[in-house]
């Protein structure tokens, strides 16, 4: 799948994923706000109207863990919970999500659920086309979860969700351009441009971790060789450390000791 990071015109059907439309605001692109077209309202004014529908649960589905949190309209995380990711079973991942929503929903009135999924999404935001680290292949995740949770569910790429959160509440507050790189099991990335998550023509403009930096290098879970995440992610860090420990490298003595003397206990993740 070719990568494309150009700032081309995004089709109208992508607007609901771009977060400046109905998914985040309850308004369709082109609607009015105080007599103005919604697109012409300054970003600060737009932000004040986002997320006014009560508490939501945000869920980050990574290669090793599923983390969930109850979030209020100001972006404050009220309560958190997590589980290990059952990476080889798509139905098991969905069940973990249901358990987390039920657990957090016992003490909070939840209006909706947002999912950040580690994978490549279709342009409608309902299907995970492919995930290098999880058992998703053309998985209709949004439809499945809405049926199970009986709540409105929004699904997007996990790095896209992280970039949007930083733009709204964190490091990108007040900026018109933002690039976000996420490090974990793999490497993800996303871009916010003029108040919109820029996904490119094919929806994978921010997949920096799968850009080839070492031609013919280590095999990546995506199928290519030499991807960046094979050299700088949590998985890569653990692999390199285990190799050093197995070779009795002096630089790995303390690390091996901390791992109970077994190189297999060394990982690059918390």
* Stated pTM of the model: 0.74
Q: What are phi and psi of 90, to 5 degrees?
A: -60, -40
| Cβ pair 245, 262 in contact under 8 A | no
Question: Which H helix or E strand runs over 253?
Answer: helix 253-258
DSSP E strand boundaries for the chain = 32-33, 36-37, 55-61, 65-71, 77-84, 110-117, 120-121, 128-130, 137-139, 153-157, 177-183, 187-193, 196-197
Q: What are phi and psi of 206, to 5 degrees?
A: -100, 10
Q: What 8-state DSSP symbol labels residue 14? A: G
| Cβ pair 57, 80 in contact under 8 A | no
d(CA 18, CA 30): 14
Q: In a structure prediction context, what are the per-residue pLDDT tens digits for the chain, which is 270 residues long? A: 333 333 333 333 333 333 333 333 333 333 333 333 333 334 444 343 434 568 999 999 988 899 999 999 988 999 999 999 987 789 999 999 999 999 999 999 999 999 999 888 888 888 999 998 888 999 999 999 999 999 999 999 999 999 999 999 999 998 999 999 999 889 999 999 998 999 888 888 888 999 999 999 999 989 999 999 999 998 899 999 999 999 889 988 888 888 888 888 888 766
């Amino acid at each position: 799948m070719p990568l494309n990071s150009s700032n081309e015109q995004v089709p109208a059907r992508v607007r609901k994923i771009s977060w400046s439309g109905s998914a985040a605001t309850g308004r369709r692109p082109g609607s009015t706000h105080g007599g103005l077209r919604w697109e012409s309202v300054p970003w600060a004014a737009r932000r004040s109207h986002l997320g006014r529908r009560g508490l939501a649960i945000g869920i980050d589905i990574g290669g090793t863990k599923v983390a969930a949190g109850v979030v209020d309209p100001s972006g404050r995380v009220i309560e958190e919970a997590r589980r290990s990711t059952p990476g080889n079973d798509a139905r098991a991942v969905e069940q973990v999500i249901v358990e987390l929503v039920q657990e957090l929903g016992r003490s909070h009135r939840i209006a909706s659920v947002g999912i950040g999924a580690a994978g490549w999404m279709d342009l409608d935001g309902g299907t995970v086309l492919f995930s290098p680290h999880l058992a998703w292949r053309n998985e209709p995740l949004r439809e499945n979860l809405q049926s199970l949770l009986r709540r409105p569910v929004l699904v997007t790429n996990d790095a896209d969700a992280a970039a949007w959160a930083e733009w709204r509440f964190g490091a990108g507050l007040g900026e018109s351009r933002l690039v976000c790189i996420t490090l974990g099991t793999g490497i993800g990335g996303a871009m916010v441009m003029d108040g919109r998550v820029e996904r490119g023509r094919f929806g994978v403009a921010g997949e920096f971790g799968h850009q080839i930096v070492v031609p013919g290098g280590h095999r990546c879970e995506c199928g290519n060789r030499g991807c960046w995440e094979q050299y700088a992610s949590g998985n890569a860090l653990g692999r390199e450390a285990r190799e050093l420990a197995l070779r009795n490298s002096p630089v790995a003595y303390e690390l091996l000791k901390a791992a109970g003397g077994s190189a297999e206990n060394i990982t690059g993740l918390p």
